[in-house]
Each structure stands twice: as C-alpha cells, then as structure tokens.
Amino acid sequence: MVKHVELARRNKQFTLTSWQTQNGWRPVSMARADDVYFWDANGKRYLDWSSQLVNVNIGHNNQQVIEAIQAQAAKLTYAMPSLATEPRARLGELLAEITPDGLTKSFFTLGGADAIENAMKIARLVTGRQKILTRYRAYHGGTFGAMSAGGDPRRLANEPGVPWIVRLHDPYAYRSPLYDGRTRDEGDQALIDQMAETIEYEGADNIAAVLLEGYSGTSGIIQGEEVYWRGVQQLCDQYGLLLIIDEVMSGYGRTGKWFGVNHYPWVKPDIIVMAKGLTSGYVPLGAVVVSEQIAAHFEENVLWAGLTYSAHALACAAAIANIQVYRQQDLIERSAKMGQVLRAGLVALAEKHPSVGDIRGTGLHQVIELVKNRDSREPFSPFNQPMTEPMQKVAALLLANGMSTFVKWNWIFCTPPLIINEAQIEEGLSIIDKALMLADAYTEG
C-alpha cells in the first residue's frame, strides 16, 4: 500500500485540489491507463465509467493520437497565435466540416471555461447588447464569467458574479413543479412561455444571447425535448438573440451524434463551444466556432480576445488525430449503439431496484437518479447538500469494486469512453447492481 499512500501524501502536501476542502480530498492514484481502464500506483485496476471528466472519449493510450502529438512535437511545438501554422489551418477546416452548417471559423482556447468566456464576449461584441440568458441547472466552467453563467450551485461561492447573466428554469420533468399535472410536451411549452416572459421583462434589446448546453451534462442530464428546442430557436429568431450552444461535454459523440444539438436539426446555433472530446484530454484545447455572419463582423471590427496558447500546435495536432480516430473507428455511431446496450441494462436495473427513481440521457451519456421513495421521489441526497450515508456508501462500494465514476448528490453518472464494448458495459452494470442493492436497503415504502 505504501506506493499509493505515499503518492497521495505528496500530492496533498504540495498541491491544491478543486471543488472541495483539502482535508476532504482522498485521492485515488492513477499510474497508467489503457482502453477503458486505469491502474493505481499499487496496480489496482479501475473501469473508467466516467471517461475521467467526461472527456477521454476515444479511450486511454490511443497510439495514433500519441504518435501524432510526437510527430508534431518533433516539427514545431509552439507558434504565437498571430502566426499561421499547418495544424491550426487543418483543424479549422475540420471543425467547419463537422459542426452544423453555417459555422465556419474557429477561435482556439485552452479548455471549456475560457472558450465560454470568449463566446460570451464575442456575442456581446457583435450585438452590442449586454445580457446572456443561461439555465440554473447548467455548468459552463470554473473561471469567473463562466462560473457566473453556470447555474450549478458552485457559483454561489462566486456571487454576485458578473451582473449581466439572467438565469432560466430547467426542463427537469422529474422534479420541476412546472411539469406537475402536465404532459412532457406541455411542461416544455410552459417553460418556453416562461422564457418568453423573461425576455420581455429583461428587455430583448439588452440581451445578446441565450447560452445552453447542447445536451445537459454535469447538472444532471436534464434535457428539454422537441417542443423545448423548437421554442428556444423560435424565441431567438423572434427577438434577434444569438444562440450559443455549449458542447464541451455533449460534443464528440457523447450522445450518439457529433454534437448534442445534432439531435435537433432545426436548431441553428450561431456559436458552438467545445473542448473535452475535441482532444479527449491528450493535450488541453477548446474552441469557439462561429457563424459566417459573426466571422464577417470581425473582418472590420477588432476581436478583443487573446491567449498566449491559443491554437497551440501540439493541441491542434492532437485534435486532428482525434477527429481521424472518431471517423475511422465510427465512434459516433458506436456511441449510439453501445448507448442502447447501456440503456437497456440500466432499465433492467431500474426494474430490479426500488432505489432507482429515474434514468436519463442518450448514447453513452446517462445518469441514474436514486430515491428513498419512488412515490414521493425523495432523493437520497438533496440538491447542493453533502452526500448522505447511503450515497457515500454507494460511492465507496463502486470504488472498492473497481469502478471510477461521478457520484454527485443522488446521481450516478454513466459516461464511459466511446470505445467501450458490450462485455465492459456488462462489467460496469454488475458493479452498479451491487451498489444499488446496498441503496435498496435504505428505501422506504
């Protein structure tokens, strides 16, 4: 045990971790990784059921990507962003190809949060308007503006945040009172009606853009359906608001399409923000991809944005190689197919375990919501509260049985790498099965 314990001790002694007290940090170590697994410093194997931070979409230790990074490093590692490079040009071309029609030019960042910052800045520069509409149940990153834009309660530590964010309520059909006594479609419509009211109250002339995740992620995979998305597009058209779609988590095959928003072909984003699966974490990179009209605006107007590491050559090379891997291995289709296998397994678990209240998501982007009581829907751990005993035990058992994933409040996230096969999905489901058995003991009624 000494190897792992010693590594954790040195990490804790000399470095700070995120989103928790330092005392509460009990890190698992990670010494090497391959395919959908990683190993700690003692050699214990974990099934990576979350693709780390839902970013290692192509899986670990992909030789094609590693060799592309090595080849780029041997040629050119860094050029300042005002210079032209081959990997930057090629990646720009590829992003124009794979993003929805009309999106033509990319601005490169280091990750998701700074891409969100720049997308909001671009929307405000282009429109000359100030406000951005976002959702309460959303996460857009940990920098100051992005943290304000996200409604995720982590932002409460950052209040009042930037003053020009206005938050909308969410299509949380399982819990929102707006859906009580209504069909799913009626609830979605009620939410859109409320959004129209908000736009009127805030003054459409003050609103630059609506910012939404293409497919909701870390806030609980809370997704509106067709009525919702048609309504959003219609309101953007009616009031002349730009639509920024955050695909940081939902992009790159996560939901069985290239981008979450591809599930709604009538939605026309003006800006798409991406990171995570763009490079699957092999090198940090984010991008803001804008429409032809927005790009045209900056032909004559200064783009007041810049980063020393924008369009880093190694990161661009990693992204190009990733896109080749997605294409060559048909990973987008594979996610849709394996997603059905995963979903069927989760439905079977829900039938067996009274602690399962809801299952949401699509593709390899699913979440299980655990409840004390299926009728009252009382969660095991309430929103924004420390995890209660049953959820702590569930999390500990998953880990002990060799599964690494997110357990947050009363949710277990199921977002494995897109290369996962049926046997590995079975392996994951059987670990979750045991944890749910433990949770069942805490149910009532």
What residue ranges bind ligand PLP (CB under 6 A)? 53, 111-113, 116, 139-141, 213, 217-218, 246, 248-249, 275
Q: For residues 249 and 319, which CB has a smaller minimum distance to ligand PLP in the complex?
A: 249
What backbone phi and psi angles, to 5 degrees, belong to 358? -150, 150
Query: What CA–CA distance (Å, rounded) separates 255 from 197?
Result: 31
Q: How far is the CB of 113 from ligand PLP (least distance, A)?
A: 3
* Pick 147 or 439: Cβ nearer ligand PLP: 147
Residue 145 or 390 with smaller CB distance to ligand PLP? 145
Burial class (CB in 10 A: 0-12, 13-18, 19+), 297: middle
Helices (H) and strands (E) in the chain, counts: 13, 16
Assigned token pair, 97:
């190809």
Count CA within 13 A, CB hemisphere, residue 205: 0
Shortest gap between Cβ of 57 and ligand PLP (angstroms)?
A: 13
Task: Kindly state the smallest distance separating residue 314's Cβ from ligand PLP, in Å.
Answer: 17
The minimum distance between CB 249 and ligand PLP, in angstroms, equals 4
For ligand PLP, give the closer residue by CB, 208 or 249: 249
Contact between 439 and 380 (Cβ < 8 Å)? yes
- Closest to ligand PLP by CB, 112 vs 256, is 112
Q: How far is the CB of 256 from ligand PLP (least distance, A)?
A: 17
CB of 80 to ligand PLP, least distance (A): 22
In terms of CB distance, is 179 or 259 closer to ligand PLP?
259
Rounded-to-integer distance, Cα 202 and Cα 189, Å: 20
As a whole number of Å, the end-to-end CA separation of the chain is 42
Contact 418/59 with Cβ under 8 angstroms? Answer: yes
Phi, psi (degrees; rounded to nearest 5) at 92: -55, -45
The rounded distance, in Å, linking the Cα atoms of 331 and 417 is: 10
Q: Please tell me the distance from the alpha carbon of residue 375 to that of residue 32, in angstroms, as a whole number.
A: 44
Distance (Å, rounded) from C-alpha 10 to C-alpha 23?
A: 14
C-beta of 47: minimal distance to ligand PLP in Å?
A: 21
Closest distance of CB 115 from ligand PLP, Å: 7
- Smallest distance from the beta carbon of 141 to ligand PLP, in angstroms? 3
Report, in Å, the least distance between residue 204 CB and ligand PLP: 25
Give whichever of 112 and 428 is closer to ligand PLP, judged by the CB atom: 112
Amino acid at 392: Q
- For ligand PLP, the closer of residues 213 and 358 by Cβ is 213
Taking CB atoms, the residue at the shortest distance from ligand PLP is: 112
Contact predicate 416/55, CB 8 Å = no
| CA–CA gap between residue 302 and residue 25 (Å, rounded) | 44
Q: Which is nearer to ligand PLP, 140 or 263 (CB)?
A: 140
Min dist. Cβ of residue 246 to ligand PLP (A): 5
Name the token pair of 353.
């375990």
User: Which one, 146 or 403, has the nearer CB to ligand PLP?
Assistant: 146
Sign of CA dihedral 11, 14, 15, 16: positive
Q: CA torsion, points 108, 111, 117, 120, in degrees to nearest 10?
A: 60
Reply yes or no: is the peptide bond before residue 160 cis, omega within 30 of 0: yes
Return the amino acid letter for 366.
Answer: Q
CB nearer ligand PLP, residue 138 or residue 349? 138
Burial class of residue 83 (count of CB atoms within 10 Å of its CB; 0-12, 13-18, 19+) = exposed
Q: How far apart are CA 290 and CA 119, in angstroms?
A: 9
